[in-house]
Copies of this chain bind each other. A is one copy, B any other.
């Protein structure tokens, strides 16, 4: 793990790093020492580790809860080089949709493919970050919607260090099998008029989760219109389960 830059803003220390080929960013309370809960933030499709919603969540996790937060670029996103195979599949999928194919199964298949790479990458990031003195081996939470859900479900299913997860804007096609292995508390977000994930597929993914405690939060609006107040709800959820 190699740190490449460090800045501080409003009490939040931000460290850019690379772990092998993975570019990432770690946020912690300025001057913090010792172990603390850690939130892993999975960004959306076409986004990156410092997208505005990721930054906002990271900063509030640090300033309001005293947690650490970490995000990395998904392959082919942010500071990572273009990924030839993924690009080829994405282009083929766009052509299929233009020719009348259904979008949701194509997204699902693509996310399942990418997850085979990101699950071990994110687990390696956990290994590395939790060795830092100002992060430590505290409980881990995962937050990710849309692509961050498609990649997050298999990650949370595979990773016993994750104790609670906020997921959503994803469907059962890609992730139902992995969801059935998730037993930690989950807050699951559905956009009621989602044009990318049919409502019944979102509800089916919620149903597939094996967690004894799981809450569905559904709001009117399209895929990109998650209300801002769900950010506060997620912080409360993590505070309740990790703090």
Interface residues in chain A, defined as those with a beta carbon under 8 Å from any beta carbon in chain B: 192, 206, 212-220, 227, 229, 232-233, 236, 240
Contacts and interface: CB of A to CB of B under 8 A. Distances in A.
Assembly stoichiometry (copies): 2
B216 A216 contact: yes
Given A215-B219, A218-B218, 18 more contacts: A192-B216, A206-B218, A212-B220, A213-B227, A214-B219, A214-B220, A215-B217, A215-B218, A215-B227, A215-B229, A216-B216, A216-B217, A216-B219, A217-B217, A229-B240, A232-B236, A233-B236, A236-B236
A152 to B, nearest CB: 20
Contacts of A214: 219-220
Contacts of A217: 215-217
A227 B237 CA distance: 13
A214 B229 CA distance: 11
Contacts of A232: 236
Contacts of A213: 227
